[in-house]
Each structure stands twice: as structure tokens, then as C-alpha cells.
Amino acid sequence: MSIRRGTIAAVVLLGLWEGAAQVLSDGVLFVGPLGILFHIGANPGLLVRATATTTQNAALGFLWGNLAAVLMASVVVVLPRTERVISSAALVVFCLPLVATGPILRVISGPGDTPQIALAALAVYYTTFLAMRVGLRAMPANWSDLMSVYGRGALATLLTVRARASLPYLFVGLQIAAPAAFLGAMIGEFTGAERGLGVLTLRAMRSLDVEATWSLAVISAAMAMLLYALVGAAGRWLVGYTPDIILSPPRTMAHNRWTGMLQACGAALLLILLWQISMDLADLNRFFAKRPADVLSYLLADAPARATLLRALAETTATTIPGYLAGLVLGAALAMGVILLPRASGVVLPVAVALRAIPIITTAPLIVLALGRGATGTIAVIAVMIFFPTFVACLQGLRQTPRAVSDLFRSYGAGPVTVLYLAQIPGMLPAFFAAAKMAVPAAILAVTTTEWLVTGKGIGLLVALTSTTSNYNMLWSCIVATTVLAVVIYAVVVRVERVVLSKYASEQVI
């Protein structure tokens, strides 16, 4: 799309937006571009300082989270036996609901920027870890065999071959992580920070200042889109190539079911020990820092509390799974649409980044208000939350199809749809499953935040109630329940991934 056409399209969209705002002026939740500009023009200093604070916290979280992700992915590839433990630990930590961990981090660390930076890091490390892990394995088996012939070990192979092969995947993960870091920093500011866009957003919502809420949403979306574009430009400048698909032969799975179950149990026990030991070493007060035995004894002794937790968990599960599947289908379908209609990327990409960048705390009430407080509204929020990483990952996977393969299909008269179905979609599958695994914790975050803010149901409501009443036994029980839910969904995705990739991308299956 040329600059002229893009400018015309932007002007038309802004005009339609302002026209709709004027028509719906009686509504209290819809503000047009002029109203947003007036608000920004009236508060330039405050908004610039808040934006700078949030950007700084997001940048620090982005840095530390991604460094941890690269380190973990490297260890997993060099030492494959550590994968289940590291992946399980990474998944469990990533699945911790931010609406519950934020207040606990604030209590532990006190005032300052630590919770914001920590939540930004927690919001990004897992997506980059998954993308980096896929990239480090995107190497033909004969390359590793050649390195072995020359007496090079796993570490030398990692540094000389795998690291370069992983760069395109790494930058895809970093692009997905950039808006997530901004969102994580803002959620951290909701927990009692003194400065930042999150603080202003919370104040605007409490005072029902709709113009301020829309202005902050637009500013945060613009900053996230800018970070997304900068990371993408850096990736194109540093990498400058698109990796070919690895054409590995299918292989049968030699995975032992009992070995896998034993490894999973070992990982769970290790995580419980780490939970206990970290709390004891830090000498945290047991009033708010519950240990595993505290949670277990609470749930065993208090039958009404156990029933309340199970009922809330059932409500949360009933909306999480449909929303999760809808987001995956929407993201993959959009990516395929962009491949079939390349000119659509100029419109779809900015809209997708903007939807992902706008804080869920501002979008969830609007979506639920439009679609109702029932399951449909919550499912829509979850789908909006997770379709973006799926879209980005699938688009990258679809574009990796070697030109020679596409040309071969076209030489036999195959049309774009046939090439997509027979050549590009199989090559997309590793990226799709990586996105599906990234989306599990994001779906949990979306549903709990929506329940907490709008619908008044499920685990999200229970977390909000127990936070305000200092019922830390139930709060930690909620954290454990949502984590178990996420791990179960993740395990199902991994199982399906192993079956599918063993046929289409066997180098990704260990």
C-alpha cells in the first residue's frame, strides 16, 4: 500500500470514527478522535511523564524477561533432559494470574517500580522462550550430525549454528513481547504505583472520565505499536533473511507414556519444593505468603471454601476453552487471509497490534457492554486477547514456505488456495502450536481480568473478593486452581502437537 493510499485510508477511518462518535453522542462510552485530541492537548505534561515512566518500566521488564527466555531456551536445547522441568516451571510461573500476583509483589517489595518491571518481565519471557526454543531446533538433523563428526559438542553447535538459525524466530517472539511488556507494566501500576499510564487509567475509570480512558488507551496502543514496529525493523536489519522450512522425514514417536508421567510428577514435586524453599529462605510472613501445606490444609479442612473454589473454577473453565479456541481460529484464519490477499496486511496488522496493545482493563468493559455479561462477552475478550500472537506466529510460518516449493505447485497449475493448503499450512504448524502454547496463560489472564472487572463470576471475582478481605488462604488457592487449569490445557495442546508435528515437522519433536 502506497503512502498516499495509506494516508487516505487513515483519514477515512478517522472520519468514520468521529462521525460515529457524533451520532452516538448520547452514549457515555464512545469518544471520537477530536475528544481524544482535546484531552491530550489539555494535559500534555502529565501524559508525557506518565508515558515515559511506563515505557521505562516496560523496557526494563522486556530486557530482563527476554534475557531469561533466551537463557532457558539455550539450556533446554543443550541439555534436553532439563526441558520438562524448565518448561513446566516456566509455564507455571507464566500462568500465575497477574491480578493476584501483582498485589502480593507489591506487599513484598513495597513502593517503587519493582512490581511493574517484574510483571512486564513475567508477561514477555514465556512467549520469547517458546519462539526461541522452536528457532534453536529449526536445524536439519544432518547439520548436527556434521558437527558431531567434527567433534563439536552441543554447546558449540548452539553457538555456531543454532543461534543464527533461531534469529528469525527470536525476533518474532520479541515482536509479540513488545506490546505484552507495555501491558504488564501497566497492570503492575494498577497495584499501587504512584506514576505511570496505569495509575492514570485506574483514576480515569474510577471517576468515569471516558475521554481520559480513551485517550490513555490510544496512547498505550500507539506506544505498543511503535515498540512492535521498532523490534520488527531491528529484526529485518539484523537478520535480513527468511529461514527455509526444515524438510525432515516423518518419524514414529518413541515417547514412553510412563516415563513422561514420571517426569511430570517429578517436575511438580520440584516446583512445590521451590515454592516452599523460596518462601522460607526469604522469611516471608505466613499471613500473606502461604506455603503449599497451608493451601492444602485449608482446602481439606474447609468444605464450603472448597465448594466455592470448584464452582468458580467451573465457571471460569466454561468460558476459557471456547474463547481460547476462537482466538486460535481467528488468528490463523487472518494470517491465511493476509497470505491470500497480501494488500490486506496494511490494514490487518495495525488493527491487530492496536487491539493487542490496548490494555484489557479498558477493552473488557466495552466489549462486555456491547455483547452482554454472559458467556459471549467473556469469550470475545479472550479471543481478542490471544488472536494477536497466533496471527503473528502463523503469518511468519506461512511466509517461510520455500519459493521452489510454491513454484513447483504453480507449475502444475495449482492456485493460491491449493498452495496454501498443501504447502504453506503444513509449514505453519510449528509456529501455530507455539502460539497455541503461548495463548494458554493469556487466555487465563483475559478471563480472570474480565470476571474481576465486569462479569462478577468465576475465579476472577473470587480473587478480587479475597484480595480486599485479605483472605490469603483462598487467594493462594485461586492461584493454584488457575495454574492447574492452565497446565491441563497446555498438556492437551502438547499432546496434539506431538501427534501432528511427528508427521509434518519431526525435528521439533523430542
d(CA 108, CA 161): 42
Residue with C-alpha cell 521452489?
404
Q: Which residue has the higher pLDDT, 27 or 89?
A: 89
CA nearest to 443, candidates 406, 486, 407:
486
C-alpha cell at 27: 452514549
Distances (CA, A) of 367 to 22, 184, 371, 439, 479: 20, 20, 6, 20, 26
Asked if the model's pLDDT at residue 10 lies above 80, the reply is: no
pLDDT band at 250 (very low <50, low <70, confident <90, very high): very low
- What's the pLDDT at 52? 92
Asked if the model's pLDDT at residue 155 lies above 80, the reply is: no
Q: Which of 21-25, 49-53, 236-240 has the lowest mean pLDDT?
A: 21-25
d(CA 424, CA 401): 6
- What's the pLDDT at 289? 78
pLDDT band at 324 (very low <50, low <70, confident <90, very high): very high
Residue range 364-394, pLDDT digits in tens: 766 766 676 778 888 888 888 888 778 877 8
Q: Which residue has the higher pLDDT, 339 or 343?
A: 339
Q: Which of 147-151, 323-327, 444-448 has the highest mean pLDDT?
A: 323-327
d(CA 337, CA 348): 10
Distances (CA, A) of 132 to 123, 331, 347: 16, 20, 28
Do 30-247 and 295-509 agree at the fold level? yes
d(CA 330, CA 335): 9
pLDDT band at 100 (very low <50, low <70, confident <90, very high): low
Residue range 293-313, pLDDT digits in tens: 888 898 888 889 899 999 999
- What's the pLDDT at 178? 83
Asked if the model's pLDDT at residue 60 lies above 90, the reply is: yes
Q: Is 324 within 8 Å of 387 (Cβ atoms)?
A: no
Residues in the chain, how many? 510
Asked if the model's pLDDT at residue 248 lies above 50, the reply is: no
Average pLDDT over residues 116-142: 80
Asked if the model's pLDDT at residue 139 lies above 50, the reply is: yes
C-alpha cell at 419: 498452495
DSSP H helix total and E strand total for the chain: 22, 0
Asked if the model's pLDDT at residue 257 lies above 80, the reply is: no
Average pLDDT over residues 239-250: 54
| List of residues 6+ apart from 456 with CB closer than 8 A | 373
- Say which amino acid occupies 82: T
C-alpha cell at 340: 491470500
d(CA 323, CA 179): 21
Asked if the model's pLDDT at residue 264 lies above 70, the reply is: no
C-alpha cell at 265: 510428577
Asked if the model's pLDDT at residue 436 lies above 60, the reply is: yes
Average pLDDT over residues 433-452: 82
Average pLDDT over residues 317-335: 90
- What's the pLDDT at 28? 54
d(CA 356, CA 354): 5
Indicate the angle between helix axes 303-340 and 375-398, nearest 10 degrees.
40
Asked if the model's pLDDT at residue 43 lies above 50, the reply is: yes
Asked if the model's pLDDT at residue 67 lies above 90, the reply is: yes
| List of residues 6+ apart from 188 with CB closer than 8 A | 57, 102, 105, 115, 116, 117, 118, 119, 120, 198
pTM (global) more than 0.95: no
Classify domain 30-247 by CATH number. Answer: 1.10.3720.10
d(CA 365, CA 379): 13
Asked if the model's pLDDT at residue 504 lies above 80, the reply is: no
- Say which amino acid occupies 404: A
Q: Which of 92-106, 344-358, 400-414, 466-480 has the highest mean pLDDT?
A: 466-480
Q: Across the chain, what does the average pLDDT equal?
A: 78
Q: Which residue has the higher pLDDT, 505 or 373?
A: 373
Q: Is 490 within 8 Å of 437 (Cβ atoms)?
A: yes
Task: Supply angle C-alpha 313, 319, 324, rounded to 5.
Answer: 115
Structural domain 295-509, CATH architecture: Orthogonal Bundle (1.10)
Average pLDDT over residues 260-270: 71
- Give 240-293 as a DSSP string: -S-PPPP-PPP------HHHHHHHHHHHHHHHHHHHHHHHHHTT--TTTS--HH
Residue range 439-448, pLDDT digits in tens: 888 888 788 8
Q: Which of 285-294, 348-357, 477-486 has the lowest mean pLDDT?
A: 348-357
Q: Domain residue spans in the chain?
A: 30-247, 295-509
3-class DSSP state of 16: helix
Q: Is 151 within 8 Å of 88 (Cβ atoms)?
A: no
Q: Is 198 within 8 Å of 57 (Cβ atoms)?
A: no
- What's the pLDDT at 326? 93
3-class DSSP state of 110: coil
pLDDT band at 314 (very low <50, low <70, confident <90, very high): very high
